[in-house]
Structure 1
Amino acid sequence: MSIQKGKDRARLDEKLPTMPWFVQQYIEFKLPDLSPSTLLEYVRDYEIFFNWLIVEGISQAATMHEVTLLELESLRMEHVTSFRIYLTTYKEQTNSRITVSRKLSSLRSVFHYLSQIAEDENFYPLLKRNIMAKIEIKRVNKPKDTAAKLKGKLLEEEELGEFIDYVREDYAADVAENKQALYSHELNAVRDAAIVSLILNSGLRVSEVVNLNVEDIDLNNRLLYVFRKGNNDETFKTPVYFRERAKMDLEQYFTLRSTRYNAPKQEKGYFLAIKNGEKAGKRMTKRAMQQMILKYAKLFGKPALTIHKLRHSFATDYYLQNDIYKTKEQLGHASTETTEIYAHLTDKTMSEAIDK
């Protein structure tokens, strides 16, 4: 189990007792199929919903744990409409349409389970009336739309190598008068370049990079092993290949890992950082990696570039040289529907189709 999954499973176990018994039953039913991280998001969505029911007086429960099936059966369309409006207004920064759709999908899932799968002692459905079955959730994040938002915000062709070189060397010239920034760069340039190079030459997700252990990387065969998103077999790590350029950058970093980051023998994490006030290196965090990329991207002249857009940059470049199915496998997508983003970014399939 990855580090983040372990944390999310522990948090899920903490939150479950606050849920109604039927939600606890649903989560246990879903555990073999969905990751703890996904289920934790579901539970957070249910917290919002049940607390809203209580505050609005729709449920007479004093706590979420006491919300009843009968109260869910009695919900009307006007209640669901009011909840949708609430989701778009209850925070200072309102939820996007995508977020609202995801939260409603979480509710539809548990309502479906209660009305179609779960049974009482007499073999009748636990939920006799399912109001959420009437709710149509339109898809709002189509590959073509996502591609349109990404256009002009990714690294293209020669820029992939240029950005790696910038992180390793050229950034120093841009911060030459900032002694603190220059010192930090001298200390971490090789590590930072290795992280950037790995993503731009393999398409790994940031979580997969963070969770890499020393034993997961086979430099000779340009291969590494990661827990893929959506794969809940926690005994199996998926092999992922990376390009030759990444091999060189990773080799350079690994020669410095133990000495420069004072790596303890028990530290398995591949990419390390030394926090202020500490002497020994620890596994670099997701947030630290994200902030690191933003720092370099800004001075490189690509302020919209994020660590996830590095993955998109690799994917677009990879797709130009391969088909959609190889791209899907390399990126670890569950469906080619997600991979279609890169077809729209390159216009490859459309140009080929018109020629044929």
Structure 2
Amino acid sequence: MNIQKGIDRAKLDEKIPMMPWYVQQFIDYKLPDLSPSTLLEYVRDYETFFNWLRAEGLSQSEDNGHILLEELETLRMESVTGYRLYLTTRREGTNSRITVSRKLSSLRSLFHYLSQIAEDENFYPLLKRNIMAKIENKRIHKPKDTAAKLKGKILEEEELIEFISFIHEGYAEDVANNKQALYAHGLNKERDACIASLILNSGLRVSEVVNLNIDDLDLPNKMLHVFRKGNNDETFKTPVYFRNQAKDDLEHYINLRQSRYHVPKREKALFVAIRNGQKEGTRMTKRAIQAMIIKYAKRFGKPFLTVHKLRHSFATDYYLQNDIYKTKEQLGHASTETTEVYAHLTDKTMSQAIERRNESTS
């Protein structure tokens, strides 16, 4: 099991005993098909919903673990409407439309299981009435809309190389009067540039970068073996290729990984950091990589740039030289529908279609 999945599985195991028995049964049913990370999000969504039910007096249970099926059966449409309003208007942690849609989708999955799949001892559905079946599943974000939001917030053309170069050298000039920042940069610039370069030359997700081990790297063939999102086979790693520039940056980093970070033999992580108070390097966290990219992005003059937008930057650049199917495979998307974002970002397919029309009428 990869690192992040292991962490999420442990958190899931902690939360499950605090859920009603039927939620535990639902999670067991879904466990072979969904990752611990996805199921953890489900449980967190149910936690929010059950807390709201009790706060509104729609359940008389003293805790979430004892909320009754009968209390779910008697919910009315006005209750669901009230919950949606709560999610969008609460003072703390207001949710976006996309997040609200996801939380409602989690509930639909649970209610569908209870009303259509799970059975009691008499072979009747556990839930006799499914209020969530009345809630329309609206598609919130279309590829074209996502592309519009990304315009101007990703790296394009020469900027991909310029950003990596900035991490290597430009940042030091920017923080020349800050001794602490300058020291930290001198210690980590090769590693940081390597991470940015790898994402910008392969399109890896940040979770995939975090999970990389030194043995996953095949430098001569410019290839990595990666645990890809959505693949629940814990024994299989997908081969993912990277461009030549990333090879140079990886070689540079690998040559100093041991001497710079004092990595113990037991530590297999490719990307490591020495934490405060520690003497040996350990695997970098997802949060550390995200914060690192944001730090450089602000100084680079791209405050909207995030680690995930580096992936978008690669994908847009890659799509310009390849078709949608190759882009889908390189990024590890489940369907081409997700990859369509890059068609809209480049306007490649539309401009080609217009040219073909002009040629046919000339």
State the Cα distance separating 1:172 from its structure 2 match.
1.5
Q: Which residue does the alignment assign to 2:281? A: 281
Gaps of 5+ in 2: 357-362
Q: Which residue of the partner structure matches residue 32 of structure 2?
A: 32
Partner residue, 2:228: 228
User: 1:267 corresponds to which residue?
Assistant: 267
User: Partner of 2:306 in structure 1?
Assistant: 306
**1:350 maps to what in 2?**
350
State the one-letter code of the partner of 1:58: L
Q: Give the deviation of 1:301 after TM superposition.
A: 1.4
Equivalent residue letter for 2:103: K
* Cα offset, 1:349, TM superposition: 1.2
Corresponding residue number in structure 2 for 1:77? 77
TM-score w.r.t. the length of structure 2 is 0.96
Partners of 1:24 and 1:345 lie apart in 2 by 42
> Whole-Å Cα distance in 1 between the matches of residues 67 and 80 of structure 2?
16
Distance (Å, rounded) in 1 between the aligned partners of 2:62 and 2:168: 57
The one-character-per-residue Cα deviations of 1:46-75 (angstroms, maximum 9, x if unpaired) are 011112111211112121111111111111
Q: Please show how residues 305-324 of structure 1 align to structure 2 within 5 Å.
A: 305-324=305-324
Amino acid at match of 1:255: N
**Aligned partners of 2:184 and 2:64: how far apart in 1?**
48
Question: For the residues of structure 2 that align with 1:75 and 1:152, how far apart are their CA atoms?
Answer: 45
d(CA) in 2 for partners of 1:145 and 1:135? Answer: 23
CA distance in 2, matches of 1:91, 1:112: 31
Find out whether 1:178 has 2:187 as its counterpart. no
Q: Aligned with 2:124: secondary structure? A: coil
CA distance in 2, matches of 1:75, 1:45: 17
Displacement of 1:137: 2.5
2:45 paired residue number: 45
Cα separation, 2, equivalents of 1:119 and 1:93: 36
Question: Match of 2:78, as an amino acid?
Answer: E
- For 1:342, give the aligned amino acid: Y
Q: What amino acid sits opposite 1:114 in the alignment?
A: L
Q: Deviations over 1:309-351 (max 9, x none)?
A: 1000000000000011110110011111111110110001111
Once superposed, what is the RMSD of the aligned Cα atoms? 1.0
Deviation at 1:91, TM superposition (A): 4.1
Q: CA deviation at 1:159?
A: 1.0
Quick one: which amino acid aligns to residue 350 of structure 2?
Answer: M
**What is the rounded CA distance, in whole Å, between the counterparts of 1:180 and 1:268 in structure 2?**
29
Tell me the number of residue pairs that the alignment of Structure 1 and Structure 2 aligns. 356
3-state DSSP of counterpart to 2:239: strand
Q: Distance in 2 between matches of 1:178 and 1:201?
A: 31
Moved over 4 A (4+): none
Secondary structure of 1:88 counterpart: helix
Show structure 1 runs of 5+ residues with no match.
none
Q: In structure 2, how many angstroms separate the alpha carbons of the residues matched to 1:301 and 1:49?
A: 41
Cα displacement (A) at 1:92: 2.1
* In structure 1, C-alpha distance between the alignment counterparts of 2:55 and 2:186, rounded to whole Å: 55
